[in-house]
Structure 1
Amino acid sequence: MSDLMTCMPFSQLMNWVLKEHNTKGTVFGIHRPYVADQTKTMEIFGRKLETAIGPAAGPNSQLAQNIVASYYAGSRFFELKTVQKMDGAELAACVNKPCIKADDECYNCEWSTELYVPQAQNEYIKAWFLLSVIAKEFGLGSMDGFQFNISVGYDLAGIKTPKIDGFIENMKEAKDTECFQECKKYLMEHIQDFKNVTAEDVESISSQICNSATISTLHGCPPQEIESIAEYLLTEKGMHTFIKCNPTLLGYDYARKTMDDMGYDYVAFGSFHFEDDLQYTDAVPMLERLQKLAEEKTLEFGVKITNTFPVDVKAGELPSEEMYMSGKSLYALSMTVASNLSRDFGGKLRIAYSGGADYFNIDKIVGCGIWPVTMATNLLKPGGYQRLQQIAQKLEAQGYQPFTGVDVAALQKAVEEAKSDRHHVKSAKLPQSRKSAEAVPLVGCYTAPCEDTCPIHQDIVTYVKLAGEGKMDEAFQVILDKNALPFITGTICAHACMGACTRNFYETPVQIRDTKLAAATAGYSAGLAALKVTGDCGKNVAVVGGGPAGMAAAYYLARAGAKVTLFEKRELLGGVVRYIIPDFRIADEAIDKDVSLLLKLGVDIQTGKEIADVAQLRESYDAVVLAVGACEPGTLRLEAGETMNALDFLEKFNRENGQVAVGKNVVVVGGGNTAMDTARAAKKTAGVENVYLVYRRTKRYMPADEEELLLAVEDGVEFRELLAPVKLEAGQLTCKKMVLGEVDASGRRSVTETEEEVQIPADTVIVAVGEKVPTEYYKNCGLAVDERGRVKVDSKTLESGIAGVYVIGDGLYGPAVVVKGMANAKAAAEAIVGAEVSTLCGQPSDKSAIYEKKGVLAEPCSDRPESSRCLGCATVCENCVDVCPNRANVSIKVPELEMAQVIHVDYMCNECGNCNSFCPYASAPYQGKFTLFANEADMADSKNDGFAVLDKETCRSKVRYLGNEFEWAPGADTALVGGLEMIIQTVCREYDYLLDI
């Protein structure tokens, strides 16, 4: 596919907007418009402004449709994408694609417009007309309630070239441009297409598009050059002028320390740009001179804070050596620049802002007297442009104040708050990929990542929805269909589902585990009463091991009609969960409730029975399921001194209610969840004063779940990172100091041992380095094992080499989360029963309700159910639609199909790659979705499956499908599947404005 965008003619844009709005109720895929309160406007540059927000110069302000989508959602101040003398194909050759990665903090390696400057000018003129018209036609605000701000760069010589000079002059006065005249002519000739816009309204559209400019300079631009550009724009062009400032004004040491303290220690940057860029001591007097000059010219002058921050590519984030960081990680730095300048100018320097602005901080920024505020990263995340509506409404409720100065004290307070604000600091653990292993399908791609990630694929969206409606009994029934241990998993599940939740791209995942436990607790009595055997398999099955995996296997088998005997060597069921996991994490009562489900289903539970002879047991049962756990202790050998095993310690801790003699100083070695449990339990053990957790890497690279790690920190565990234990002598643990190496492509850093030693007080060293599978037990049972001592099984059924003997749980591949053991149990049970042991309980969500939530940031709150935050991704995903700045991924409603379908529009795409970050599938929508091409030539320039409509009246099209190219028309006998045929016909019939290019 080509990465060159095609600019749509004004006629297509206008027709598209009107037809989509009137037939679909949306504009460029934006569902909810912002209607400005025209009694609450402000003024800047001598012109009215209805809101103080809009897109920053970047991917969201490059094309006319981007600007329209932004306006419809709430923008009124538009910082147009930067123009410079290098443009078009010459510039495109310098920009590697993909060029945007915005899944957390944002990185990009693109800068100014990829269009030719005359094309960019025309896009801005077309957008000017479109906004003027839809403001009146759709009742969104005043026809003159918005402003455009041009961004120009990067040196004075370039700005003075005829190309850029002509651009500036035409943006100041556009009436003689061909594009302005064409737009106006089209509107006058089609005035009958409008309900509210009149010919007088069209005549009233101002030709003076822009009277302000923001100067963008490259890193390393001398202060004299920056000042000369500003002087030129103020004196020669008579434009209100802002200068973009860089975070490098703060100095390397401050920036490095701030980034490290906020958790961005892995972001690599050197001191070069800090030394080469404009220095703060030069900036202040320069800005003072320009401020005075602007006053003499009766023009407004200020700074735009801030430009993006250059960092090194270390983990293959983008195909470049250097990239630019923005978003949440830039907020504290940008606000500090604003604070420093405001302090030194007594609050009298005008500041426009961009750098991590979003719903959670917009009131603080504007409340300090800093506006307009533009954003890019925020709009590149799920919800996309729609996020602007909530922000605009928040500012409208806050009320606008004319600029009288910046509140220096409030700004400094905001800076300090930013450094610890959870919305801006980096999480303790680097987020894992939220993508599945599957390629995005051409038809019906909507999927719920939470359900896909869950090993037993619970119907999460459905039970969260039912719980939100107060239907706890029904929610619990849905949970019980697939989940054999609702109380255990509702209490201690590692909740991979929440890690995959799309809400992570908004703020905080839906609290799925808590909702499960609430539904289980409220629905327990009714659920237990209703629980019954639903199958009739009639098999006699023995389950060996009464831990979570064994309990789950007994549940699934018994419900399917098997006669199940469960053998457990201890006195009570629950295994590791009951005997090892500290009781402050899960109470016995929760485990007992899950046991009661087995009793209700008729499971014969025989405790105090250890099974050593599986062959003999197999003679009495149709099948045997071994769920014996990873019971061989992991070890760590020291040069001197003895250690205690973590599981032994935890079992004693539970059995003796924390009365374990381990001394005052305890060292826990390890970085997994068991290590966190051990450290927390040690902290609660009688007589213990200090607990040190030693790990050879840093917290970020520990395998423990972030939640468990943070709980350990909260309990007062002292983390001693980058240490490797050597010996324990005389109450001191000697450790070698380690250093982290470079980041590899996976994002993990290597580690190297140094000669430097560190000593830690240690009365007891507890080792939590992972348990091992019971290899000898398997051998004694006659089961074949691999070179790692793991029993050999069929990967799907988990049946061993002995027919009818299945192996599940931690004893299969090693310690894992509870729900993984349940997935093993379900697989083995289905193999034994010969049928599914659960049903499909999923219910579609209300589509209109989902669209109401899109783009709305909302933290969990006790006043509302979590269903109010669930985005119902299995019914409506459309992440790729949300996050595409160019609107190149389009959702279409195909009458014959239940789900809306997403197609990719090739001529609108520049291969920025942003949709790849947020698609839950392994592939990128801009490459993997069925693609609409403008013509056959564009199709030939691509490898995508897709179509080019040759005759929209008959739907005759050139199609590529599964690598084969052919002509297709309705009724043609081709290999094209029905869903794709319907998509093509729907585009021709109901989305024909896509074909007018």
Structure 2
Amino acid sequence: MAMLKPYPFEALVSRIFRECERDQAVFGLPLRKALQSHPRMDLSISYFGRRATSPLGPAAGPHTQMAQNIVLAWLAGAGILELKTIQVMDRLELSRPCIDMRTVGFNTEWSQELSLDESLDEYIKGYMLIEMLRQSAPWSQDPNRGPVLYDLSVGYDLAGISGGKVRNFIDGMLNTKTRADYFRRSIPAEFRHHAELDVPDRLADSVTLSTFHGCPPDEIESIIDFLFREYRLNCVIKFNPTLLGKRETRELINNQLGYERIIIRDEAFDDDLSWDRAINLVERLGRTADELGLQLGVKFTNTLIVKNTGTSLPESEETAYLSGPPLHPLAMRLISRFRKIFRDRFPISLSAGIDRKNFPDAVALGLKPITACTDLLKPGGYSRFPLYYGELYRRMEAVGATTVDEFKKKAYAPEGSSGDVSANTEYYLKQVAADSRYSHTRNNKPPRKIQRKLELFDCLTCDICLAVCPNNALFAFADGETEVPSAGIGSLAEKHQIGLFGDFCNQCGNCDVFCPEDGGPQFMKPAFYGSETSWRESRHASAFYLAGGSATTTVLGRIAGREYRLEKTGDRVSFSGTGFNIRFQASHPQGTISGNVPEKLDLRPYFIMDFFRRVLLETGRINYINTLVHIKESKDGL
């Protein structure tokens, strides 16, 4: 299984600010595609007593796991980030691919794919990077670009959550000074003026409990009570779709929405809370929260446990988790029922099929935070969030609202809603029930394939894969290059090439889902690694590691399974592989070769590796590879 490897903080800082200045982008996201705040709209809300610039954010999942994900989500407009769920088992072995977004959404993901210590560091690094950006133009001039709010997410039983490993993680999130100061000291000298950033000791005031993956129903109350009393955290219970009940869930998904081939597993209901137990649980925990001066919230919903049939996920996985459009009508039914009992006593968070069109409605219902995952895994990725805001701005302007509270009162007023969130919920529930866009009929067409196989070089360069990768692993390079000199490859036909930063690729498979060509970018495109160790551990057939220094550049390459080493100092080249070790001048290779020369010498691997060296280190955009080399050369020059 491919393992994610965090990127050094000093390199993240260097890349962000050099890329922002030179390429007008951050982690490949053009600044023009980041959220541009509306000068007359105030979307801020209060979340557990703290101001959030917006109720929108990514759900706990692949978009809130690593520092670069967190920064990209904030740039796109996230106000509240539900960090990826952590648990005591922090080295899970998961089958791949684990994401299938061809129609609705299916996955076999669990919790974090980093160690708990790595997760802690990534969350602190992400927060610090956002604060550094907030101090910088153009964001420093934007009053709507306030601090991001973190919501922790934990699972899945009391023993794990109260045990030492998870305790250490939570303690670290609530006492960040030591780690924040460590990262502060690593900021490169050229960006040291950003070091005076404000990092609160306590990075979160709330935590969401995921009642999934075997979370014992009898332990939910004990877990929340523990988090209340031990850490004085406001708590959110993330409920499962099964609260709707076996009969009604199947009637809605299979019959009314028409997803006849989705088989909802019996154990999804047998091992979960019933509606009545959940309501009694909320009532008791609500009283406990009041007694302690804290708050309780609920979230609808987790993904739905289904049988793994008809997906692109491994056949060895009997169970998959359904997300996306089918869950939106289901969640709305649960929210309606919950509000008929509790009205607005408890804040409600939503994660169920959120997209550009229904985001304004979720705002009108007073839901917070409103989190998306499935939609962000589709073409456009993080840049879909600004479209959410565009739709909300349009709807707010249409009713003359400039704040969220005004919009809640006016959103449905012409159609008869009285304007309070319970009335809005009932009005919207009727709209959803009549909306065919959540049905199988509207969500059964997979992305187009053109029956052409991906190669190492060239492809359609539609660039869809760049944005659908949740970890920001794929990138464009070699802009305008027309050939790989002397490599026997022929001319390069496309505007640029596609590469993979292997340390960020967990082979989730989402790029392959949307790529029009066959083979998968995660396997067919050249993979570049951040360290020699990562390169050696990888199993990628076309893998490379580039290391710079004060005078010599080293490239390690694996091409068609064979390994090579290239060292270049000025015009002098040393090139070696199995059975040979040669030296020559780069300006005249064939006529200057010496050393251990085999009878049949193929220099094509050299020309490919030297091409990558040149286009990644000497020309083109800022990327993860040349940033690491820049950092090393800067240190060598000290």
TM range (shorter): 0.7 to 0.9
- Residues 235-384 of structure 1 mapped to structure 2, 5 A cutoff: 235-260=229-254, 261-319=256-314, 320-384=317-381
d(CA) in 2 for partners of 1:253, 1:421:
22
Distance verdict in 2 for CA 1:986–1:440, change over 3 Å? same
Aligned to 2:217: 223
For the 8 Å contact 1:53–1:392, the answer to whether it is kept is: no
For the 8 Å contact 1:329–1:356, the answer to whether it is kept is: yes
Aligned to 2:86: 83
1:899 aligns with 2:484: no
- Residues 386-785 of structure 1 mapped to structure 2, 5 A cutoff: 386-395=383-392, 398=396, 399-401=402-404, 407-427=421-441, 430-431=444-445, 434-446=448-460
- Residues 927-938 of structure 1 mapped to structure 2, 5 A cutoff: 927-938=523-534
Q: 1:157 aligns with which of 149, 156, 159?
A: 159
For the 8 Å contact 1:75–1:392, the answer to whether it is kept is: no
Amino acid across the alignment from 1:33: A
Amino acid across the alignment from 2:56: I
Deviations 1:346-403 (A, max 9, x none): 2332101101101010011110111211111111111001111121344456344359
Deviations 1:483-523 (A, max 9, x none): xxxxxxxxxxxxxxxxxxxxxxxxxxxxxxxxxxxxxxxxx
Deviation (angstroms), 1:82:
0.8
Identify which range, 37-46 or 316-325, moves more after superposition.
Answer: 37-46
* Residue segments in structure 2 that go unaligned for 5+ positions in a row: 397-401, 410-418, 483-493, 569-585, 591-602, 630-638
Amino acid across the alignment from 1:165: R
Aligned to 2:415: none
Deviation (angstroms), 1:895:
4.3
Larger Rg over CA atoms = 1
Give the 3-state SS of the residue equivalent to 1:409 in structure 2. Answer: helix
Aligned to 2:522: 926
Distance verdict in 2 for CA 1:423–1:900, change over 3 Å? farther
% of aligned pairs identical?
31
Aligned to 1:966: 564
d(CA) in 1 for partners of 2:367, 2:420:
6
d(CA) in 2 for partners of 1:59, 1:429:
22
Deviations 1:509-539 (A, max 9, x none): xxxxxxxxxxxxxxxxxxxxxxxxxxxxxxx
- Residues 969-988 of structure 1 mapped to structure 2, 5 A cutoff: 974-976=603-605, 981-988=610-617
Distance verdict in 2 for CA 1:944–1:249, change over 3 Å? same
Aligned to 2:467: 882
Identify which range, 24-33 or 407-416, moves more after superposition.
Answer: 407-416
Aligned to 1:42: 45
Deviation (angstroms), 1:344:
1.6
Deviations 1:646-690 (A, max 9, x none): xxxxxxxxxxxxxxxxxxxxxxxxxxxxxxxxxxxxxxxxxxxxx
Amino acid across the alignment from 2:183: C
d(CA) in 1 for partners of 2:443, 2:9:
48
Give the 3-state SS of the residue equivalent to 1:423 in structure 2. Answer: helix
1:205 aligns with 2:206: no
Distance verdict in 2 for CA 1:248–1:896, change over 3 Å? same
Deviations 1:440-467 (A, max 9, x none): 1222212xxxxxxxxxxxxxxxxxxxxx
d(CA) in 2 for partners of 1:221, 1:934:
37
Give the 3-state SS of the residue equivalent to 2:305 in structure 1. Answer: strand
For the 8 Å contact 1:227–1:286, the answer to whether it is kept is: yes
Deviations 1:93-123 (A, max 9, x none): 2x11111111221111111001110110000
Give the 3-state SS of the residue equivalent to 1:277 in structure 2. Answer: coil
d(CA) in 1 for partners of 2:313, 2:3:
19
d(CA) in 2 for partners of 1:108, 1:893:
34
Q: Taking structure 1 as the reference length, what is the TM-score of the superposition?
A: 0.53
Superposed CA RMSD in Å reads: 2.5
Distance verdict in 2 for CA 1:11–1:209, change over 3 Å? same
Deviation (angstroms), 1:221:
3.5
d(CA) in 2 for partners of 1:396, 1:186:
40
For the 8 Å contact 1:77–1:372, the answer to whether it is kept is: yes
Distance verdict in 2 for CA 1:212–1:379, change over 3 Å? same
Distance verdict in 2 for CA 1:392–1:300, change over 3 Å? farther
Aligned to 1:682: none
Aligned to 1:185: 185
Amino acid across the alignment from 1:984: R
d(CA) in 2 for partners of 1:35, 1:25:
14
Distance verdict in 2 for CA 1:33–1:17, change over 3 Å? same
d(CA) in 2 for partners of 1:134, 1:942:
36
Aligned to 1:609: none
Deviation (angstroms), 1:429:
8.7
Deviation (angstroms), 1:278:
0.5
Give the 3-state SS of the residue equivalent to 1:137 in structure 2. Answer: coil
For the 8 Å contact 2:77–2:385, the answer to whether it is kept is: yes
d(CA) in 1 for partners of 2:436, 2:276:
33
For the 8 Å contact 2:447–2:516, the answer to whether it is kept is: no
d(CA) in 1 for partners of 2:341, 2:356:
28
For the 8 Å contact 2:210–2:237, the answer to whether it is kept is: yes
Distance verdict in 2 for CA 1:372–1:395, change over 3 Å? farther
Give the 3-state SS of the residue equivalent to 2:356 in structure 1. Answer: coil
For the 8 Å contact 1:37–1:50, the answer to whether it is kept is: no
For the 8 Å contact 2:532–2:545, the answer to whether it is kept is: yes
Deviations 1:261-318 (A, max 9, x none): 1121110113322232011011111111212222232322110111111100123531
Deviation (angstroms), 1:343:
1.5
d(CA) in 1 for partners of 2:194, 2:503:
32
For the 8 Å contact 1:98–1:318, the answer to whether it is kept is: yes
d(CA) in 1 for partners of 2:420, 2:370:
14
- Residues 785-800 of structure 1 mapped to structure 2, 5 A cutoff: none
Deviation (angstroms), 1:157:
1.6
Aligned to 2:485: none
Amino acid across the alignment from 1:247: P
Q: Taking structure 2 as the reference length, what is the TM-score of the superposition?
A: 0.82
Deviations 1:143-197 (A, max 9, x none): 7431011001111121111111121122122113xx211222234x63x537xx6
d(CA) in 2 for partners of 1:428, 1:303:
30
d(CA) in 2 for partners of 1:5, 1:877:
26
d(CA) in 2 for partners of 1:297, 1:13:
40
Q: How many residues align?
A: 555
Aligned to 2:543: 946
d(CA) in 1 for partners of 2:173, 2:232:
13
